[in-house]
Amino acid sequence: MTTPSDPGLVHRVVGSASIWVLGRVAGPRREAPVLFSDPNALYVDLEGFCLGVLGARAVQVPCGVRTQLPTLSTVDLGSTVAVEDGGIVFGDTEVLVTNIVDTTVPVLAPEVALRCGARLADLAADRLDAARTELAAGALELLAAGDPAGADALLGVGPGLSPVGDDVLAGWLAAAVSSRHPALPTIRSAVALTASERTTPLSATLLGCAARGEGVPEFRSLLLGLANDNDEMTTQSIDLMTSVRRSTGSALILGALTALTTLDV
Protein backbone atom coordinates (compact mmCIF):
# COMPACT_ATOMS: atom_id res chain seq x y z
CA MET A 1 0.00 0.00 0.00
CA THR A 2 1.03 3.60 -0.47
CA THR A 3 2.90 4.84 2.62
CA PRO A 4 3.46 8.33 4.06
CA SER A 5 6.98 8.30 2.61
CA ASP A 6 5.58 8.15 -0.93
CA PRO A 7 5.74 11.58 -2.60
CA GLY A 8 2.04 11.73 -3.49
CA LEU A 9 0.64 10.90 -0.04
CA VAL A 10 0.07 13.79 2.35
CA HIS A 11 -2.62 12.69 4.79
CA ARG A 12 -3.13 9.48 6.75
CA VAL A 13 -6.35 9.51 8.75
CA VAL A 14 -8.12 6.98 10.94
CA GLY A 15 -11.65 5.81 10.29
CA SER A 16 -14.28 3.59 11.85
CA ALA A 17 -16.48 1.01 10.17
CA SER A 18 -18.53 -2.10 10.72
CA ILE A 19 -17.02 -5.57 10.85
CA TRP A 20 -18.54 -6.20 7.39
CA VAL A 21 -16.75 -3.18 5.89
CA LEU A 22 -13.48 -4.09 7.60
CA GLY A 23 -13.71 -7.53 6.03
CA ARG A 24 -14.13 -5.95 2.60
CA VAL A 25 -11.17 -3.55 2.84
CA ALA A 26 -8.80 -6.12 4.38
CA GLY A 27 -6.60 -8.24 2.15
CA PRO A 28 -4.35 -7.74 -0.87
CA ARG A 29 -4.30 -4.67 -3.09
CA ARG A 30 -7.26 -4.14 -5.40
CA GLU A 31 -8.24 -1.26 -7.66
CA ALA A 32 -11.78 0.03 -7.13
CA PRO A 33 -13.50 2.27 -9.72
CA VAL A 34 -14.97 5.52 -8.40
CA LEU A 35 -18.79 5.70 -8.64
CA PHE A 36 -19.38 9.04 -6.91
CA SER A 37 -17.23 11.75 -5.39
CA ASP A 38 -17.97 15.07 -3.70
CA PRO A 39 -16.50 16.93 -0.71
CA ASN A 40 -18.60 14.86 1.72
CA ALA A 41 -18.41 11.29 0.42
CA LEU A 42 -16.56 8.99 -1.94
CA TYR A 43 -18.16 5.78 -3.19
CA VAL A 44 -16.31 3.03 -5.02
CA ASP A 45 -17.20 -0.33 -6.55
CA LEU A 46 -15.18 -3.00 -4.80
CA GLU A 47 -15.83 -6.39 -6.35
CA GLY A 48 -19.52 -5.73 -6.83
CA PHE A 49 -20.11 -3.96 -3.51
CA CYS A 50 -20.34 -0.21 -3.03
CA LEU A 51 -18.07 1.05 -0.26
CA GLY A 52 -17.81 4.62 0.94
CA VAL A 53 -15.38 6.98 2.59
CA LEU A 54 -17.52 9.38 4.60
CA GLY A 55 -16.68 12.90 5.71
CA ALA A 56 -17.93 14.36 8.97
CA ARG A 57 -21.07 15.79 7.32
CA ALA A 58 -21.98 12.77 5.19
CA VAL A 59 -24.88 10.43 5.92
CA GLN A 60 -23.22 7.68 7.96
CA VAL A 61 -24.29 4.74 5.85
CA PRO A 62 -23.40 1.25 7.15
CA CYS A 63 -21.32 0.45 4.05
CA GLY A 64 -18.96 3.36 4.65
CA VAL A 65 -15.78 4.18 6.55
CA ARG A 66 -16.54 7.11 8.83
CA THR A 67 -14.00 9.89 9.30
CA GLN A 68 -13.92 13.32 10.92
CA LEU A 69 -12.61 14.98 7.75
CA PRO A 70 -14.48 18.27 7.14
CA THR A 71 -14.05 17.75 3.38
CA LEU A 72 -12.73 15.02 1.12
CA SER A 73 -10.55 15.42 -1.92
CA THR A 74 -12.73 14.86 -4.96
CA VAL A 75 -11.75 12.13 -7.40
CA ASP A 76 -12.65 11.83 -11.07
CA LEU A 77 -15.46 9.41 -11.86
CA GLY A 78 -14.17 6.31 -13.59
CA SER A 79 -10.72 6.61 -12.04
CA THR A 80 -9.63 4.03 -9.49
CA VAL A 81 -8.54 4.07 -5.86
CA ALA A 82 -6.45 1.48 -4.04
CA VAL A 83 -7.96 -0.76 -1.36
CA GLU A 84 -5.54 -2.81 0.69
CA ASP A 85 -4.69 -3.96 4.22
CA GLY A 86 -7.66 -2.28 5.87
CA GLY A 87 -7.30 1.04 4.10
CA ILE A 88 -8.45 3.07 1.12
CA VAL A 89 -6.08 5.41 -0.73
CA PHE A 90 -7.47 8.21 -2.90
CA GLY A 91 -5.74 11.37 -4.07
CA ASP A 92 -3.29 12.36 -1.36
CA THR A 93 -5.20 10.63 1.45
CA GLU A 94 -5.07 7.20 3.06
CA VAL A 95 -7.98 6.23 5.31
CA LEU A 96 -7.32 3.31 7.65
CA VAL A 97 -10.04 1.42 9.49
CA THR A 98 -8.83 1.42 13.10
CA ASN A 99 -12.11 1.30 15.02
CA ILE A 100 -15.22 -0.88 14.79
CA VAL A 101 -18.70 0.64 15.08
CA ASP A 102 -21.96 -1.16 15.71
CA THR A 103 -24.35 -0.55 12.82
CA THR A 104 -26.85 -3.25 13.79
CA VAL A 105 -30.41 -2.66 14.93
CA PRO A 106 -31.55 -3.84 18.37
CA VAL A 107 -33.45 -7.10 18.72
CA LEU A 108 -37.06 -6.50 19.80
CA ALA A 109 -39.20 -9.04 21.64
CA PRO A 110 -42.59 -9.57 19.93
CA GLU A 111 -44.59 -7.61 22.49
CA VAL A 112 -42.04 -4.79 22.43
CA ALA A 113 -42.09 -4.65 18.62
CA LEU A 114 -45.88 -4.33 18.60
CA ARG A 115 -45.70 -1.51 21.10
CA CYS A 116 -42.97 0.18 19.02
CA GLY A 117 -45.13 0.05 15.91
CA ALA A 118 -48.08 1.66 17.64
CA ARG A 119 -45.94 4.41 19.16
CA LEU A 120 -44.16 5.10 15.87
CA ALA A 121 -47.53 5.49 14.15
CA ASP A 122 -48.53 8.06 16.77
CA LEU A 123 -45.31 10.06 16.49
CA ALA A 124 -44.48 9.90 12.78
CA ALA A 125 -47.39 8.76 10.59
CA ASP A 126 -48.36 12.31 9.61
CA ARG A 127 -44.78 13.15 8.54
CA LEU A 128 -44.39 10.45 5.91
CA ASP A 129 -46.56 11.80 3.10
CA ALA A 130 -43.55 12.92 1.04
CA ALA A 131 -42.38 9.34 0.79
CA ARG A 132 -45.84 7.87 0.21
CA THR A 133 -46.57 10.14 -2.76
CA GLU A 134 -43.49 8.88 -4.64
CA LEU A 135 -44.57 5.23 -4.53
CA ALA A 136 -46.67 3.34 -7.05
CA ALA A 137 -50.29 2.77 -6.07
CA GLY A 138 -50.67 -0.42 -4.07
CA ALA A 139 -46.94 -1.03 -3.58
CA LEU A 140 -46.97 -0.31 0.14
CA GLU A 141 -50.06 -2.44 0.65
CA LEU A 142 -48.36 -5.40 -1.02
CA LEU A 143 -45.32 -4.97 1.20
CA ALA A 144 -47.56 -4.73 4.27
CA ALA A 145 -49.11 -8.05 3.28
CA GLY A 146 -45.69 -9.70 2.99
CA ASP A 147 -46.18 -10.18 -0.75
CA PRO A 148 -42.90 -10.34 -2.74
CA ALA A 149 -44.68 -8.34 -5.46
CA GLY A 150 -44.32 -5.41 -3.07
CA ALA A 151 -40.55 -5.65 -3.32
CA ASP A 152 -40.82 -5.82 -7.10
CA ALA A 153 -43.01 -2.70 -7.14
CA LEU A 154 -40.58 -0.72 -4.97
CA LEU A 155 -37.11 -1.72 -6.17
CA GLY A 156 -35.37 1.10 -8.02
CA VAL A 157 -38.37 3.47 -7.84
CA GLY A 158 -37.21 7.08 -7.78
CA PRO A 159 -34.12 9.07 -8.81
CA GLY A 160 -30.72 9.34 -7.18
CA LEU A 161 -28.10 7.04 -5.66
CA SER A 162 -30.67 5.80 -3.14
CA PRO A 163 -34.16 5.72 -4.71
CA VAL A 164 -37.13 6.26 -2.43
CA GLY A 165 -38.61 2.82 -3.11
CA ASP A 166 -35.34 1.22 -2.03
CA ASP A 167 -35.28 3.37 1.12
CA VAL A 168 -38.74 2.06 2.05
CA LEU A 169 -37.52 -1.50 1.51
CA ALA A 170 -34.35 -0.84 3.53
CA GLY A 171 -36.40 0.49 6.44
CA TRP A 172 -38.73 -2.50 6.23
CA LEU A 173 -35.89 -5.04 6.07
CA ALA A 174 -33.92 -3.58 8.99
CA ALA A 175 -37.04 -3.33 11.18
CA ALA A 176 -38.08 -6.83 10.10
CA VAL A 177 -34.72 -8.23 11.20
CA SER A 178 -35.12 -6.38 14.50
CA SER A 179 -38.62 -7.73 15.10
CA ARG A 180 -38.16 -11.14 13.42
CA HIS A 181 -41.02 -10.39 11.07
CA PRO A 182 -42.63 -13.56 9.67
CA ALA A 183 -42.39 -12.28 6.08
CA LEU A 184 -38.68 -11.45 6.34
CA PRO A 185 -37.37 -14.52 4.45
CA THR A 186 -39.80 -13.93 1.58
CA ILE A 187 -39.13 -10.21 1.14
CA ARG A 188 -35.39 -10.58 1.73
CA SER A 189 -35.15 -13.24 -1.00
CA ALA A 190 -37.21 -11.16 -3.43
CA VAL A 191 -34.95 -8.14 -2.92
CA ALA A 192 -31.72 -10.12 -3.17
CA LEU A 193 -32.83 -11.79 -6.39
CA THR A 194 -32.97 -8.64 -8.53
CA ALA A 195 -31.54 -5.69 -6.56
CA SER A 196 -28.22 -5.65 -8.43
CA GLU A 197 -30.09 -5.39 -11.75
CA ARG A 198 -32.86 -3.03 -10.69
CA THR A 199 -31.13 -0.27 -8.75
CA THR A 200 -27.84 1.57 -8.18
CA PRO A 201 -24.74 -0.15 -6.74
CA LEU A 202 -24.97 1.98 -3.59
CA SER A 203 -28.63 1.22 -3.04
CA ALA A 204 -28.19 -2.50 -3.72
CA THR A 205 -25.40 -2.58 -1.13
CA LEU A 206 -27.51 -0.66 1.40
CA LEU A 207 -30.36 -3.13 0.86
CA GLY A 208 -27.94 -5.95 1.60
CA CYS A 209 -26.90 -4.17 4.78
CA ALA A 210 -30.53 -3.71 5.80
CA ALA A 211 -31.23 -7.39 5.16
CA ARG A 212 -28.52 -8.16 7.75
CA GLY A 213 -30.10 -5.69 10.18
CA GLU A 214 -27.74 -2.76 9.61
CA GLY A 215 -28.69 0.90 9.18
CA VAL A 216 -27.69 4.51 9.71
CA PRO A 217 -27.16 5.66 13.33
CA GLU A 218 -30.40 7.65 13.39
CA PHE A 219 -32.41 4.55 12.44
CA ARG A 220 -30.76 2.51 15.18
CA SER A 221 -31.49 5.31 17.67
CA LEU A 222 -35.10 5.41 16.49
CA LEU A 223 -35.65 1.74 17.33
CA LEU A 224 -33.78 2.04 20.62
CA GLY A 225 -35.87 5.05 21.60
CA LEU A 226 -39.08 3.21 20.77
CA ALA A 227 -38.00 0.06 22.61
CA ASN A 228 -37.09 2.02 25.74
CA ASP A 229 -40.22 4.22 25.70
CA ASN A 230 -37.94 7.23 25.31
CA ASP A 231 -40.07 9.73 23.37
CA GLU A 232 -37.35 12.37 23.45
CA MET A 233 -34.83 10.05 21.78
CA THR A 234 -37.46 8.80 19.34
CA THR A 235 -38.64 12.28 18.36
CA GLN A 236 -35.09 13.51 17.94
CA SER A 237 -34.36 10.57 15.62
CA ILE A 238 -37.51 11.26 13.60
CA ASP A 239 -36.57 14.94 13.31
CA LEU A 240 -33.07 14.10 12.12
CA MET A 241 -34.25 11.50 9.63
CA THR A 242 -37.01 13.61 8.11
CA SER A 243 -34.54 16.45 7.55
CA VAL A 244 -32.35 14.26 5.32
CA ARG A 245 -32.29 15.07 1.58
CA ARG A 246 -35.50 14.46 -0.37
CA SER A 247 -37.62 11.82 1.32
CA THR A 248 -34.86 9.35 2.26
CA GLY A 249 -35.34 9.52 6.02
CA SER A 250 -39.13 9.58 5.73
CA ALA A 251 -38.98 6.53 3.48
CA LEU A 252 -36.85 4.60 5.96
CA ILE A 253 -39.33 5.39 8.72
CA LEU A 254 -42.25 4.46 6.47
CA GLY A 255 -40.67 1.08 5.80
CA ALA A 256 -40.04 0.51 9.49
CA LEU A 257 -43.61 1.51 10.35
CA THR A 258 -44.96 -0.91 7.75
CA ALA A 259 -42.92 -3.76 9.22
CA LEU A 260 -43.69 -3.04 12.87
CA THR A 261 -47.44 -2.73 12.35
CA THR A 262 -47.84 -5.92 10.28
CA LEU A 263 -46.19 -8.54 12.47
CA ASP A 264 -49.24 -10.80 12.21
CA VAL A 265 -49.18 -11.25 8.41
Among the ranges given (2-6, 9-13, 125-129, 185-189), the one the predictor scored with the smallest mean pLDDT: 2-6
**pLDDT tens digits for 88-116?**
999 889 999 999 999 999 999 999 999 99
What pTM does this model have?
0.93
**pLDDT tens digits for 155-200?**
999 988 899 999 999 999 999 999 999 999 999 999 999 999 999 9
For position 11, what pLDDT does the model report?
Answer: 83
Residue 10 has pLDDT above 70, yes or no: no
The chain-wide mean pLDDT, for the chain, equals 93
Residue 83 has pLDDT above 90, yes or no: yes
Of the chain, the end-to-end C-alpha distance in Å amounts to: 51
Reported as a pLDDT band with limits 50, 70 and 90, residue 8 is low
For position 159, what pLDDT does the model report?
Answer: 86
Average pLDDT over residues 61-87: 95
